[in-house]
Structures are given as C-alpha cells and as structure tokens.
Structure 1
C-alpha cells in the first residue's frame, strides 16, 4: 500500500490521520497554557508542584516540551515524504501523542514523583521518534537525512542531561543540557530551514515567472553549516571562552549572507514565505546577540530569547501554519488571522528584548507573555478546524502544496 493509498483508506478521526495534526494543535495549545502558568509564577504564585526551580521548568517546557512536540509532528509528516514509506496514523499516532502528554503531565507534577520516573516519562516520545526515524531512514535507504537523525538524537541527549542537572540541584536552565538541546534545535533550523526556505521561495517566484530565484545549495552553504557546528559546539562546551564572541559574530554574519541569496525581499506579498525568512534572520541575529552578551553589552537572558522566541518560535509557527494549510488541501496563503499571529509573536519577541534592556520595567515581561499567548493560543483556535477537520479537495495553491 502506498502512502496515498494508506491515507485514502484511513477511516478514523481526522485528527489522527497525519502526524502534524495532533502534535501541532496540542503543542501550540501547550505553548499558550505554559506561558500563562509562567506569568502566574512571575507574579509569585505556585500553581504546580514542581521538583525543579520555576525558571528551569519554564525553559524546559518551551524547549523540550513545546518544541519536542512540534518536532514530533514535523518528523511524522516529513519522513514519509522523504522516504516514500507509510505514515503513522490512527492508534499508533495516538499512542505517540499520549507519550508527549505523559511527559507534560510528569513535568507539571514532578514534585509528586522521583526525578527518574519523571525523566523516563519525558524522554519516552523522543526515544520513540528516534526509533521511528532510524527505521525509516534505513528501510528507505534515505541516507541524506542521517544528519537529521543525529541532531534529534543530540536533542534527546540534551533533555536527559537537563533532567540529571536538575536532579543534582543545579540551575538546569543555565546548564549544559539546556545549551545542548538549544544547539541541536538551531542546527536543525540551519539544516532544514536551508532546504525548505529557498525551495518554497523558488517555487513561489517561479510560478510568477520571476527571473530572480534563490541560489541553490552549494559548497558555500556547506561551509556556513560547518562554521555553525563549530560555533554551537563552543557554545555548548565552553560558552565563556574568550574567542566565542568573535566566533558568534562571524557565524551570524555568515547566516545573514546565506539568507541574502534567497530573494527574501521579493516574498513580501506572501506572509507564509517572508515569515520564514524573518525566522532565519532571527537565527543569524541570535548569534550576534550571544556575542553581545559575551562582551557584557546585553543581558544574557534577553540575548538568549532572540534564539528561543525569535528563531525557534517564529520558525515553528511558520512551519506549522504552512504545513497545516498545505497538507489539509487549503491554498498556501496566509490570511489576515495568520498574519495577526505572526505580528503578535514579533511583538512578543520585541517586548522580551526591551525587558532585558529596561530591567526596571517588569510589565514588559508580562506584555511579552500575553502576546506569546495570543500567537500560539490564537494558532490553536484559528487552526482547530484545519487540524481536526477533513482534508479538502486540492485547489490552486501558491507554490507546491504539502511539503513539510
């Protein structure tokens, strides 16, 4: 049975007909709910019986909780397209979603259980995804995507290390486990974003017969990725080393140069495209922000959120909205509601940066959190009919439909 035949023969709930549907819906809802809980913690409340400090819970649930769910949805959607093998649907997909929910509940109630059961519950989905991805790559002989498998493995290892550091009583949100998972996420953006952004842009521009197309991946892109791995390795292992700010500056400049070759300014009429270019720009600027923090020019927390909220938040929101529209048979065009989500997230990132520059203005942190809730809670509400409803018959779309 082919992938298309498998999808046509599926008769269960639409929500479990494709990996992106439940994971994107629940992950976005969790991003909004967890931010609401974090705002309550900032106000002095203790809404959850946590075993770790609130800052570590906050960092973990947005990096490993929210992003872990989005990665699950992306992998389960993209890998069948990459390998031509069957997608995970129905009860097996519901089981994977259950593993993700188990991790969120375990983390929220971690003060009621020992650290080991909590860690095992939280790692369950990541290990299951690794097994799925390894099987698909080997069975489909899709060796090109081995780096994706390796980076997801590093992401899972960072999560395990985060739990071990928290169990040891340390501030895990400042530890190596946090940096390792963040580095893996940023490398995935550089690798996969470097594939899909110019590809989607090329398709859109070519459909409009533009003579200006993105430069295809070449050896220089490989050099940028090599520099990125070196910078991120230093960020994980020796973030305070004297050469690190200069390496970060060079890496940020390299990514801005790479981005300049993808014809981003020509995508202004289509928000689904320019938001991806903007997210990649946040990846580049995040290297510069880390350099500024290393030189004592910017507060480290504010600098880190250029990556966390800007690059990761914006890229995941962009991918979720595009994949949800394309795979559900809808036109690949962002309407006014989706644009409002993007603008809310931009406002959240800007407010968080200002909060770091103006530490005497705590209302900026609350504003940033509320705008984040508007972006991701708004996505869950706006895209609920898309993600939980049946696929529409394909219509004329902008570019190639469906590619995650």
Structure 2
C-alpha cells in the first residue's frame, strides 16, 4: 500500500504538477516505459515470476532512483527554488524505502521495518501537503463563484520546511530507542524522553499550521460541491492525524489509530478525491461528482471513522474488517464508474 499503491498515485500527481510548473514534458516515451517497468517488476517479479526477493527489491528501489533522476534536472535549477524540497523529500523516501527493505531482510535491525515504513508514509503525506497546497485553492477558485483566500507566507514556509525537522527527530528517535548503527547508550543521558517530547511538539505544530492553512482556504464554501469537499476532507484527516500522532507520541492515543487517520484518511481520501476529479477533467468530461461517486465519498470517510475510533471501544477486529471492506468497496465503485471513461476517447476529440 505504501510503496506500490500510494507511491504510484502520488507520482502521477507529482509528475503532472512538475510538468505544469516547468512547462516541459517529462514522463513520456522511454521515461514512462522504464518507470512503469521498474514499478511493475518491483511488485510482481517475485510472485509469480519467481525472481529472488533481493532482486525484486532492487528493481523496486530502481524505480525510486529513476524518479530522482527525472526530477533533479527539472527542479534543481535557480528558477525552481521553491520546488526543490520535493526532490529532497523523494530522496528521503528512497532512503526510507531502502532501509525498510534491508530491515525486513535482517540486514539491519529487523525490528525497525515498521518505523521506516512509517517514515515513508510521512514523506507521502508531506508531498500531498505540497501538492494539495497548490491544487485545492486553485480548484476552489475554478468551482466556487467569487472565491478568494489569503495565503499566509509564514504558514506556507513552516508547512514546507518543518517536515525536515520532523524527519531528523524521528530518525534520532528510531536510532536512540533501538541503537541501530550506534554504540551510544542514549538512555544514560535521558535523551529518549526528551526526543519524544520534541517529536510531540513538532507533530502538534504540524497540526496547528496545517489547520490554520486549511481554515484559510475557507473549506465551508465547498459544501455544495462534493468533487471539491472530498479534497478538503482528505486535508482535514491529515491535520487531525497529526494531532492524534502527537498524542500517540506521549502515549495518550493508540499509534495504529493515529497512523490510519493519516493513511486511510489523509492519503486515501485525498487520493480518491484527486483521481475522481482528474479522471473527469483530463478526459474532457464535466467535473461533477455523480450520485454514486458522492456515495463512495461518504462511505470512504465512514471507513476512516470506524478504523480510527472504533478500536478505542475495544472493537478491534470489527474495526479492521468493516473499515477494510468499506474502503475496498469505495474503490470498486471508482472502477465501476471510471474505467470506461478512462479507456474511451474524449468527447471533444482532444488527446487525453
């Protein structure tokens, strides 16, 4: 779900945005073929093709390295200074992906596999915050008559750069608690508790800044436009997820529920909103959510509530199974409605 599904969708958004920002075509021809090939082989070369696991993993990492190879010439130039953090985020995603694979294969401490997967999830979230910060206000201006908002430069800077401080302290937290790659006994200096408090403060700051940013976009104006409010709901779950994760850092909330607020909610809902919108817009259709799509939006958010909050009442298995089934159903409804649209010519005859 992290290195296959989420990565593929976010890369689709990212390359579309980068091509617009740089007025250039990046992902076509051989570039598109090799990226798809590396991604596909990383998913399916071990089963059913029978490749050794280390080779499958190497091919999967190759897709990340290829992405960096494509992004660097476009974004690491003077005219793209404001977009450079995207390259740094994705470079860290590649490192975390690599470490999670090495940990899963016991090359490094095997107990840390989940920690590096979680760090990879946060990279995806921070990329969504960057992309969402550009497209959600833009889409609002297109859809809502007379819409305007005031961008807050200081908030934008915090949203853009605070994640790198988050990465630093999460890595220190991982290394200090488990002692990977170091012989220092951090506990002698009482550093672990201090790191947890700092991590709490960073996550709470991410909650506050993203909430201020969210409210500055006037999300209440989208209530009559389901194709728009679903994006706001995705961003809302990201903000709430940071709050819950900050509480989890101090032991006041289950870490699993906090992570799923960010993944099932933040990543899942935002992705669903984006793919339904771009599937209509990029194929020349009217950008209006059908009743069945609106139904899918609603049940997808219900799945988030069930997965995040029902375990607090002791209903663990019920929460896992029911939320999972609803989540899958919502994406099956997407396939039911949009497969034909995506494989049909545009009504206006233009290339899609």
Instruction: Say yes or no: TM over 0.5.
Output: yes
Alignment partner, residue 218 of structure 1: 153
Shift of the 354–138 alpha-carbon distance from structure 1 to 2, 3 Å rule, reads: closer
Among 263, 269, 286, the residue aligned to 1:308: 263
- 1:64 lines up with 2:41 in the alignment: no
* Kept after mapping to 2: 8 A contact 1:314/1:345: yes
Alignment partner, residue 233 of structure 2: 278
- Deviation sequence 1:282-339 (CA, Å, 0-9, x none): 1111111112222322221111101111111111111222222111111222221221
Among 185, 196, 200, the residue aligned to 1:242: 196
Give how far 1:280 is off. 1.2
Q: Aligned partners of 1:137, 1:287: CA distance in 2, in Å?
A: 28
Q: TM-score, normalised by structure 2?
A: 0.84
Give how far 1:201 is off. 1.5
Shift of the 252–166 alpha-carbon distance from structure 1 to 2, 3 Å rule, reads: same
Alignment partner, residue 165 of structure 2: 230
- 1:162 lines up with 2:100 in the alignment: yes
Alignment partner, residue 190 of structure 1: 129
- 1:345 lines up with 2:282 in the alignment: no
* Kept after mapping to 2: 8 A contact 1:341/1:375: yes
Shift of the 189–237 alpha-carbon distance from structure 1 to 2, 3 Å rule, reads: farther
- Give 3-state SS (helix, strand or coil) of 1:383's partner: helix
Alignment partner, residue 15 of structure 1: none
Among 266, 275, 285, the residue aligned to 1:330: 285
- Give 3-state SS (helix, strand or coil) of 2:196's partner: coil
- Deviation sequence 1:108-141 (CA, Å, 0-9, x none): 569x654421211212222222212223336895
* Kept after mapping to 2: 8 A contact 1:198/1:216: no
- 1:363 lines up with 2:303 in the alignment: no
Among 64, 69, 86, the residue aligned to 2:25: 86
Q: Aligned partners of 1:197, 1:114: CA distance in 2, in Å?
A: 43
Among 164, 174, 179, the residue aligned to 2:114: 174
Q: Aligned partners of 1:228, 1:98: CA distance in 2, in Å?
A: 31
Among 152, 156, 159, the residue aligned to 2:90: 152
Judge which range, 76-85 or 352-361, deviates more: 352-361
* Kept after mapping to 2: 8 A contact 1:179/1:236: no
Give how far 1:250 is off. 3.0
Gaps of 5+ in 2: 175-191
Shift of the 214–63 alpha-carbon distance from structure 1 to 2, 3 Å rule, reads: same
- Give 3-state SS (helix, strand or coil) of 1:332's partner: coil
Gaps of 5+ in 1: 1-61, 396-401
* Kept after mapping to 2: 8 A contact 1:329/1:393: yes
Q: Aligned partners of 2:267, 2:217: CA distance in 1, in Å?
A: 19
Judge which range, 79-88 or 284-293, deviates more: 79-88
* Kept after mapping to 2: 8 A contact 1:355/1:362: no
Q: Aligned partners of 1:160, 1:215: CA distance in 2, in Å?
A: 40
- 1:119 lines up with 2:54 in the alignment: no
* Kept after mapping to 2: 8 A contact 1:301/1:356: no
- 1:209 lines up with 2:209 in the alignment: no
Q: Aligned partners of 1:330, 1:185: CA distance in 2, in Å?
A: 29
Shift of the 107–149 alpha-carbon distance from structure 1 to 2, 3 Å rule, reads: farther
Shift of the 148–386 alpha-carbon distance from structure 1 to 2, 3 Å rule, reads: farther
- 1:76 lines up with 2:15 in the alignment: yes
